[in-house]
Structure 1
Amino acid sequence: MTVFQHSSDDDLVKRAYQAWDAEEWQQAGKLMETALRRAPDRPGSEKLWFDAALAYKFLRDWPKAYELGREAAARASRGQQDPAFWNLGIAATVLRDWSTARDCWIGYGIPLPSGEGEILVDLGITCVRIDTATGQEVVWARRLCPTRARVFTVPFDPSRRFGEVVLHDGAPNGERIVEGQRYAVFDEIMLFTPSDLATLSVTVTAATTDDVEALIEVFSRHDLGAEVLTSGELLCKCCSEGSLPQERSIKAGEQVVLLAAPEHRAVELLDEWRSGRPDGRQWTGLHPAT
């Protein structure tokens, strides 16, 4: 705990961390800020600035997290992976202050190409645990910056969509293993950019698993989505947040496939898929998923 010279400041800090321990973030942040405004640069104040900003991050009060986060970052060492830069980078991203966000990622120690405006780079594939109308779901996504990723699989819950950009936290909370390669699972903070591609449902009949793979490939080739409904797996919280080997479960025969595409385009691509082997591929019942 940070120690201040004046007893009144000590009492504020003590009460702030009592509120912190009780997860009363509003009270904790307010008390910390009051103490800091009295003595902004006393020994140990850099931790208090960080914790105050973090309390407002927990509250999703982004303007306040940004304001206090700037003070925390100003007292942090650049290039040393100081989390003050990361938290300010998140707040700046939410507020679309791209110049501050870019400076934060560089200050944290992440090399980014120079530029202005929205940060759009390819930082590889990851997983994100998103909030849905029925609970939570882990989806695959491509990172656009250290804290945003675009979903490229079709969520099983139609309240969420293929193509969404989500804001995620910086600390991994689980991992998925595919063919020996490990991918971090990050928790969603918020939906950053919605997608206009509603999820459709269709019943397909495929003679072989290769026919199912071909259907997925047809939609993927056009930057759209297809996901076999039975490939979803229900997990408890402990398993979801653990290290989990994963592979797509594909079978032949009649099954439901979820699609992310405008309806007219879905019809065109389904017909294209069927025409490739009409004796082994059929589809019917295209409709909005519910």
Structure 2
Amino acid sequence: MTLFQHSPDGDVVKRAYQAWDAGDWQRAGELMEAAVRQAPDAPGSGTLWFDAALAYKFLRDWPKAYELGREAAARASRGQQDPAFWNLGIAATVLRDWSTARDCWTGYGVDLPPGEGEILADLGITCVRIDTATGQEVVWAHRLCPTRARVLTVPFDPSRRFGEVVLHDGAPNGERIVQGRRYPVFDEIMLFTASDLATLSVTVTAATADDVEALLEAFPRHDFGAEVLTSGEVLCKCCSEGSLTQERSVEAGEQVVLLAAPEDRATELLDEWRSARPDGRHWTGLHLAT
């Protein structure tokens, strides 16, 4: 090998993308890095740096994705929505390197409020498809930064919790439509911050749908969660990743409600709800959901 090389080894690059096509991310990342380090600033090197970092992102090897992602971002144009900044922003967020993450979002073209440390912005409401012990579930969440969101609904699978902060990908994979407004569905990458609010289950009896609505509204007023168990809908993969119109509809009668609150506070709020209309509201059997 000569001391100065003007372009990456074509044979190594070819084998790298063969490994890529086969889904062998480890081999692809290693070969891409080996090739691009031969000529780190050659024309087109930014693509190799980016793809190498992306391979390690797929592997969830965040330190390596961060290392190679910095090289890709250094060769990207700022303010042009270059994905090199987005992927480095994800890796930096996982590693809690908030200054780099902030710089990445700015480099991509996202406006964030000024500040230092952990990013806790208000980027609106979205949906996230989370992984559960039994499969996947789409939950509503509040976006804290371009790649993190706090879960606002009580997951139907108690292996996941209201109040968790999840890390999600940047490309939407489906949408939910509520009252004519479209909300993207992002796929979860990983659980970022756990929640200490375990899911409780209670059986309630309500004379009217309005009584049920009153219960569902009482818990969020105190930053807790409540969800009627029967409001969940099982979808196939195709439908879940498509465009789905949703309308919340509750019914009177006896039903199970999932709650996210400390047990003593849940009891207090349930008692307050019942006492407001004791002739039409009743609850029993508060317990930890399993």
Q: State whether TM-score is above 0.5.
A: yes
Counterparts of 1:119-268 in structure 2, within 5 Å, are: 119-268=119-268
Q: Deviations over 1:228-274 (max 9, x none)?
A: 00000000000000000011231100000000000111000000100
Q: Give the aligned partner of residue 21 of structure 1.
A: 21
Q: Deviations over 1:39-63 (max 9, x none)?
A: 1011100000000000000000000
Distance 2:252 2:115 in 1: 48
Q: Which amino acid in 2 is paired with 1:47? A: T
Q: Give the aligned partner of residue 69 of structure 1.
A: 69
Distance 2:47 2:276 in 1: 62
For 1:38, what is the secondary structure of its paired residue?
coil
Distance 2:115 2:163 in 1: 24
- Gaps of at least 5 residues in structure 2 are none
Distance 1:43 1:37 in 2: 13
Number of corresponding residues: 286
Q: TM-score of the superposition, structure 1-length normalised?
A: 0.97
Q: Which amino acid in 2 is paired with 1:160? A: R
Distance 1:172 1:255 in 2: 34
Q: Which amino acid in 1 is paired with 2:277? A: R
Contact 2:6 2:39 in 1 (8 A): no
Distance 1:226 1:134 in 2: 21
Q: Taking every aligned residue pair, what percent have the same amino acid on both sides?
A: 86
Contact 1:230 1:249 in 2 (8 A): no
Q: Which amino acid in 2 is paired with 1:287? A: H
Q: Which amino acid in 1 is paired with 2:227? A: E
For 1:103, what is the secondary structure of its paired residue?
helix
Q: Give the aligned partner of residue 107 of structure 1.
A: 107
Q: Which amino acid in 2 is paired with 1:144? A: L
Distance 2:174 2:119 in 1: 26
Contact 1:201 1:288 in 2 (8 A): yes
- Gaps of at least 5 residues in structure 1 are none
For 2:219, what is the secondary structure of its paired residue?
helix
Say whether residues 1:273 and 2:279 are aligned partners.
no
Distance 2:114 2:283 in 1: 48
Q: Post-superposition shift, 1:114?
A: 1.4
Q: Post-superposition shift, 1:37?
A: 1.3
Q: Deviations over 1:189-223 (max 9, x none)?
A: 00000000000000000000000000011101000
Q: Deviations over 1:101-158 (max 9, x none)?
A: 0000000000112111000000000000000000000000000000000001000000
For 1:47, what is the secondary structure of its paired residue?
helix
Q: Deviations over 1:59-85 (max 9, x none)?
A: 000000000000000000000000000
Q: Post-superposition shift, 1:185?
A: 0.1
Q: Post-superposition shift, 1:36?
A: 1.3
Q: Which deviates more, 248-257 or 182-191?
A: 248-257
Q: Give the aligned partner of residue 56 of structure 1.
A: 56
RMSD of aligned C-alpha atoms? Answer: 0.9
Contact 1:178 1:246 in 2 (8 A): yes
Q: Post-superposition shift, 1:5?
A: 5.6
Distance 1:249 1:62 in 2: 42
Contact 1:227 1:257 in 2 (8 A): yes
Contact 2:162 2:197 in 1 (8 A): yes
Q: Give the aligned partner of residue 38 of structure 1.
A: 38
Distance 2:6 2:85 in 1: 28
Q: TM-score of the superposition, structure 2-length normalised?
A: 0.97
